Amino acid sequence: MTAQKIFELEKRDGNNLYDIHFYLEGIFWKSYEWSAYLSHIFPSDLQDSKKLKILKKQTKYNDNGFIQVGLQLSSFEKYFPNAVDDEEIFELDRKHIIIHSEKYFTEYDFSNYELILNECKNKIPFNSNLHKNNKPYETRINSLLNEIISYPIESKSLVDNTSFLIGIKNTAIKIKNSI
- Going by C-alpha positions, the residue among 84, 65, 66 that lies closest to residue 75 is 84
| pLDDT over 50 (residue 131) | no
pLDDT in tens, 29-40: 999 999 999 999
pLDDT in tens, 87-119: 888 988 889 999 999 999 999 999 899 899 999
- Going by C-alpha positions, the residue among 42, 36, 21 that lies closest to residue 121 is 36
Tell me the CA distances in angstroms from 163 to 53, 133, 153, 168, one per residue in order.
41, 21, 11, 9
Q: How confident is the model at residue 15 (pLDDT cuts 50, 70, 90)?
A: low
| pLDDT over 50 (residue 13) | yes
pTM for the complete prediction?
Answer: 0.68
Query: In whole angstroms, what is the distance from residue 95 CA to residue 56 CA?
Result: 23
